[in-house]
Amino acid sequence: MDDTTPDHKIDITNDVCPMTFVRTRLKLETMTRGQILEVTLGAGEPLKNVPRSVTEMGDTVIDIVELANAPETYRLTIRKG
């Protein structure tokens, strides 16, 4: 197990802004500092807004990877700040 193994996962691909960020924020608020959240999200506004917003709130974006089996779908990995 490396230190980017997610402690929690959420899928917000069916949500639209601002609910994409709201659901991500609510999940992060239940977590402890240093835990990892894996978020599955769609392209467009969520991909642009969620990483920016979590960074502004003091969390760290570890990576963003497009899923090979689901075009226009991404995995965002966040470390709770």
Contact in structure between 27 and 15 (CB atoms under 8 Å): no
Is 66 labeled as catalytic in the residue annotation? no
Expressed in angstroms, the distance from the first to the final Cα of the chain is 20
Asked whether the CA dihedral 56, 50, 63, 79 is positive or negative, the reply is positive
CB atoms within 10 A of CB 43: 13
Which of 8, 13, 15, 17 is labelled catalytic?
Answer: 17
CA distance 24 to 69: 23
Active site amino acids: 17
